[in-house]
Amino acid sequence: MLNIFNQPTTSNASDLVVVNHQARRKFSSSVDAIIQAGNDISREMNKTAYYHMMGDQIKQGHFHLKWLKNRIILLATLPKTDLSLVRKLIGQYLYTMQSFYSSTNWVEDKGKDVYEVLGTNQNLYDVAKTNVSTCTNCVDKTEEVKKDSCKGNIIKTNPFRLTSAYLYGQDVEKSLKFLNTGDVGKCSYGGALDGKSSKFPGKGGINKDTKSPKHSPHYMYHQDAVDAAIKATEHFLMDSKYGLVASIGLSTMQKILQVYPQGPIIFIIDVTHGMDSHFQSMKDPLTERLKNLESEFKPKVYVVANITDADDKKVQGINTTEKVDDAVKWIKGLHFSGGGDFPEHQFTAMENTLKSSHAGKMARVFVFTDSGAHDYNKTENLTKLAKSINAKIDIIYFGSVEARRRRDVSDVEFLLSDESSNLGDREKREVTRYDEYTIYKNVTDQTSGLMIPAAKNKGGSFLQILKFMETEMWPPGEASIMESSLKTGCELSFPVDSYLKYLRIKIKGAKSSVKITLKNHLQNTFDFEKEARASKIYLGDNTHILQVKQPTPGKFWHVKVDETEECTIKVTGHSGLEFKYLLVKSGEPFFYPMSGSPIIGGSYAIVLSLNNLKDGKVNSVILRDVDGKTNSYNAKTYNSSRETIYHAKVIIPDKNFTISITGTDDRDLEFRRLSDTKVVPSPVLFTLLPYNADLMPNKQLKLKFNLTDMVDGGDYKVTIKTTPVLETKVVMARTLFSLSKGKPVTQEMTITGDTDTELVKLEISVSKSNSYVVLQKHVEVLLTTAAAARPTCEVREIGSCDKKWMFQKNCSSASWEGSVRFTAHSGAIKEYLLGNADIENVKVSSKSWGASNVEYTLKASCCNPNVYITGVSSDGSYAQCKLELSGGQKIAYDIPVDDELTELEILIIAIVCSLAFIIILSIIIFVVWWKSKHDGGDDFDLNFG
């Protein structure tokens, strides 16, 4: 794990993209998933050396990388794939690959060069045998390390050979042979986190994870390791011969990272005669605001489409341009005719426009109409399409809202079903006349858009709507500032900070006719009719929205609704300050990002990610439960040369809660930010145990999980859902569990594969035995594969060693024997690798049953308390078996260890040892490279999303 947070960078995502928060969140979620996969390996496989390139398990790590890359390519090129699984495997690959530069002697000998053959079909440099000394002793006390006491402790060889660090507690440990070897031995990991291994010849260590002499004896090589890891990540993505893009294609990589051109602005306008009077008064102010938008956020494409008479059953022209002047000319040149009493094909128009080649991802769609939709039974198809490309649909509806009668839910569901297609034209007109508003609102709700009733008796003046639309045309994504449910008067004060580019206040529970007053921090009241940058509209359902463009920062603004006692007010805004958080739980020895729901009453740390904070600061982290109870925690800082990291230690409440932060901006004005999602705490912990096998057609895969009640004990049930449905092929002995507090229960389940190259999604849910409320949920995606399946390994026979021999100097006087069998499901077993063994004292013989079945018999001295054997097939896939002779007993070094680190220090180490920045920086470099490739144009505006 490399500490890369201290590294300066001139590359910043903000410099590459337009301000599109929703788009950034999509891109960010892809990068987060890649980082999380690496974190999961760090936590779940922390004792398995080859995942970290430690313990001289470099060849094993090499084959692991080779297998991962082959699997990534296979999955990414399937006709129907799961990109979340691809991101997970990329994260695992990058973790192990980048660990190579921190844990081995490569950087000390080769500097910043990339080891290009790592994870390929080419042969590696030789790796030092497990019985060969590779390091001299050095003093790893912090003050001595500062004087470079460990620099030069790696034993040089000619020709060069690879070696790597041994970390105490991992499965591959130093052989007992080195207990009394004096000044030389195997290289240690070293530093404050290593425990006893670094006190064992060769003492000291070679890890380059951080710039801290306390934690990294080779801190002086840290920068070279970072630079090499960044270059290696670029090589993995972009190399013309071995790069991932060369294998899967640029468009597929674009989908994996969710990097797309800036989304278009789309206008779909009903040009039947009834809309003429409505739209004529809007043309000039609408096009003027479109020109204003061009100066602030330049969309890549403008699309103007027309809805015509129902008899046409299609969109009349989809005009596309990159020039705002063309869009203005088309809008001003619209001609209105036809129509009458018939609904139009609005949904067909929307669907065809979104399917057009110019629509693209992240579209902002504005539909203008005054009639119902003749094709309302296409609702599901339309919303599904819109969601797939992250299109947001706003409908500006000029029809009557008052005329419709109230229908119950079943009527509306019927209208949206295929059954309604059996109605005659007259019946359809009668139904849609009453429910057209509800049907349209269903579309806007499902696409995160807004249904705006433009009729003057409900929507206010057209000018108000246009002023509102101007900010709606901005790239999507709002920052939540605060939200309050009020019971004794509908009024609220709130801060407005300098990061806000526009302010939006949503009020629910106020009638359409009530007076709403908004005052800024100077007590100036906004006149929404006269103020060019302020708007107020009514959305129906007792919902109002107030907006102010470029609000003047100050403490405090105030909104008040007359004649209303109970309401909900939510304040949001388009903000340059982006706020994310990571909820992490203490593990051994680090804090790790949490998987699943946090445990009630548990002690966690919240680590904040803040973009564009500039000279501002965070003061507190607030947890607010559903009953309104709040707990505030002081935000602490860790300062590096790259950024200030904020974190707070918190106690998880027993009810659903939200996370918010408060602080001050660079003008010393208060800011508040509220997380978008609620956190659902749980009393029970679910952990799927690591597995290293494939799901194969008509063969069983065994998975195990642990279930632990961490609070007070209770009865639980586990439910498994599969996609595709495989209920008859998933077997678990029991689904009900009676748990005692703190005592984990392990359960095995078997899954039988079906079709080759089919992806199977397992959704495992945990709830109380008498409830359907999900307390923990885990999703695992498995690839069913035959041709690409990994080999399997089975321990056939294992001997034993008397403990009187195992940990003694004369351990070689006693011996043991064991055997394992490898079965290759594709190719043949071509070689084996030993780990944790003094090779001079291990003899291996083999016998085969064809190329696909090989049994190895091992004979060794009791100096080897356990031995790992890895079988490698001809296609580079592998399997590993462990022969455990000591019953899990650890080598008793009987050497004093440094005092334990403080909790805060461990937290900081966990943060700074993350691989996040290497991944982010490398992907940004990839995006810059992709920008240069796209259309060959330097003026291409990128959009992460």
pLDDT tens digits along 111-136: 999 999 999 888 899 999 877 889 99
C-alpha span between 714 and 711 (Å, rounded): 9
**Tokens matching residue 716:** 């639980």
- Residue 427: count other Cβ atoms within 10 Å of its Cβ: 11
Nearest to 378 by CA among 408, 350, 406: 350
C-alpha span between 276 and 293 (Å, rounded): 25
Determine contact, residues 452/537, Cβ cutoff 8 Å. yes
| pLDDT recorded at residue 195 | 65
Nearest to 575 by CA among 500, 682, 657: 500
Which of the four pLDDT bands, split at 50, 70 and 90, describes residue 694?
confident
Nearest to 791 by CA among 693, 691, 690: 693
Which of the four pLDDT bands, split at 50, 70 and 90, describes residue 408?
very low
Which of the four pLDDT bands, split at 50, 70 and 90, describes residue 181?
low
Residue type, 449: G
Name the strand (E) or helix (H) holding 104. Answer: none
The average confidence (pLDDT) of the chain is 80
pLDDT tens digits along 447-478: 888 888 876 434 445 667 776 776 666 655 57
Determine contact, residues 28/941, Cβ cutoff 8 Å. no
C-alpha span between 478 and 644 (Å, rounded): 24
**Tokens matching residue 477:** 């994504």
Which of the four pLDDT bands, split at 50, 70 and 90, describes residue 867?
confident
Determine contact, residues 314/345, Cβ cutoff 8 Å. yes
Burial of 241 (0-12, 13-18, 19+ CB in 10 A): exposed
Which of the four pLDDT bands, split at 50, 70 and 90, describes residue 945?
very low
Nearest to 409 by CA among 438, 433, 384: 438
**Tokens matching residue 593:** 């990002």
pLDDT tens digits along 141-164: 888 889 899 999 999 999 999 999
Determine contact, residues 41/96, Cβ cutoff 8 Å. yes
| pLDDT recorded at residue 28 | 76
Higher pLDDT, 312 or 229: 229
Q: In the predicted model, is pLDDT for residue 407 greater than 60?
A: no
C-alpha span between 342 and 426 (Å, rounded): 9
Determine contact, residues 864/840, Cβ cutoff 8 Å. no
Vertex 270, ends 265 and 275: CA angle to 5°? 120
C-alpha span between 235 and 245 (Å, rounded): 10
C-alpha span between 363 and 360 (Å, rounded): 7
Name the strand (E) or helix (H) holding 394. Answer: strand 392-397
Nearest to 3 by CA among 70, 131, 77, 102: 102
Q: In the predicted model, is pLDDT for residue 2 greater than 70?
A: no
Name the strand (E) or helix (H) holding 593. Answer: strand 591-593
Which of the four pLDDT bands, split at 50, 70 and 90, describes residue 403?
very low
Instruction: Determine if residue 668 is left, alpha or beta; phi over 0 gives left, psi from -120 to 50 gives alpha, anything else beta.
Output: left
Once rounded to an integer, what is the mean pLDDT over residues 411-428?
Answer: 51
Q: Which of 63-72, 413-422, 554-563, 612-621 has the lowest mean pLDDT?
A: 413-422
N-to-C CA span, the chain: 28
Which of the four pLDDT bands, split at 50, 70 and 90, describes residue 901?
very low
pLDDT tens digits along 881-891: 888 765 544 44
What count of Cα atoms within 13 Å lies in the side-chain half-sphere of residue 642? 18
Vertex 41, ends 38 and 43: CA angle to 5°? 110
**Tokens matching residue 481:** 């500032």
| pLDDT recorded at residue 637 | 81
Q: In the predicted model, is pLDDT for residue 899 greater than 60?
A: no
C-alpha span between 353 and 359 (Å, rounded): 7
Nearest to 101 by CA among 43, 164, 146, 41: 164
Q: In the predicted model, is pLDDT for residue 8 greater than 60?
A: no
C-alpha span between 798 and 636 (Å, rounded): 53
pLDDT tens digits along 188-216: 998 877 766 666 788 889 999 888 888 88
Once rounded to an integer, what is the mean pLDDT over residues 637-645?
Answer: 61
| pLDDT recorded at residue 944 | 31
Once rounded to an integer, what is the mean pLDDT over residues 304-317?
Answer: 63
Which of the four pLDDT bands, split at 50, 70 and 90, describes residue 371?
confident
Q: Which of 36-40, 599-603, 886-890 has the lowest mean pLDDT?
A: 886-890
Once rounded to an integer, what is the mean pLDDT over residues 256-270?
Answer: 81
Determine contact, residues 790/880, Cβ cutoff 8 Å. no
Determine contact, residues 267/366, Cβ cutoff 8 Å. yes
Determine contact, residues 343/373, Cβ cutoff 8 Å. yes
| pLDDT recorded at residue 865 | 66
C-alpha span between 868 and 818 (Å, rounded): 12
| pLDDT recorded at residue 931 | 52
pLDDT tens digits along 236-251: 988 888 889 889 988 7
| pLDDT recorded at residue 319 | 86
pLDDT tens digits along 506-552: 999 999 889 999 999 999 999 988 888 888 888 888 999 999 988 99
**DSSP annotation of 570:** E
Determine contact, residues 233/94, Cβ cutoff 8 Å. yes
| pLDDT recorded at residue 274 | 82
Nearest to 604 by CA among 582, 577, 620, 634: 582
Determine contact, residues 474/296, Cβ cutoff 8 Å. yes
Q: Which of 444-458, 562-576, 685-699, 816-830 has the lowest mean pLDDT?
A: 444-458
Higher pLDDT, 928 or 663: 663
Name the strand (E) or helix (H) holding 483. Answer: strand 479-486
Q: In the predicted model, is pLDDT for residue 177 greater than 80?
A: no
C-alpha span between 330 and 399 (Å, rounded): 24
| pLDDT recorded at residue 588 | 45
One-character DSSP codes across 832-849: EEEESS-GGGEEEEEEES
| pLDDT recorded at residue 750 | 94
What count of Cα atoms within 13 Å lies in the side-chain half-sphere of residue 566? 1
Nearest to 182 by CA among 133, 129, 128: 133
C-alpha span between 545 and 563 (Å, rounded): 17
**DSSP annotation of 877:** -
C-alpha span between 98 and 39 (Å, rounded): 13
Inter-helix orientation angle 379-388/425-446, to 10°: 20
| pLDDT recorded at residue 655 | 92
What count of Cα atoms within 13 Å lies in the side-chain half-sphere of residue 615? 5
| pLDDT recorded at residue 22 | 59
pTM over 0.85: no
144: Cβ contacts below 8 Å, ≥ 6 apart: none
C-alpha span between 78 and 669 (Å, rounded): 52
| pLDDT recorded at residue 473 | 65
Output the CA–CA distances (angstroms, integers) from residue 529 to 281, 534, 559, 934, in the order listed.
Answer: 16, 8, 17, 45
Once rounded to an integer, what is the mean pLDDT over residues 76-82?
Answer: 89
Which of the four pLDDT bands, split at 50, 70 and 90, describes residue 359?
low
Determine contact, residues 765/596, Cβ cutoff 8 Å. no
Q: Please tell me whether residue 88 adopts helix, strand or coil conformation.
A: helix
Residue type, 805: W
Which of the four pLDDT bands, split at 50, 70 and 90, describes residue 84?
very high
Nearest to 388 by CA among 354, 424, 348, 412: 354
Largest pairwise CA distance in the chain: 102
pLDDT tens digits along 95-109: 999 999 999 999 999
Higher pLDDT, 169 or 550: 550
| pLDDT recorded at residue 139 | 85
| pLDDT recorded at residue 6 | 33
Q: In the predicted model, is pLDDT for residue 789 greater than 50?
A: yes
Higher pLDDT, 647 or 420: 647
Highest mean pLDDT among 1-5, 25-29, 397-401, 510-514: 510-514
Provide the H-helix boundaries in 140-221: 142-145
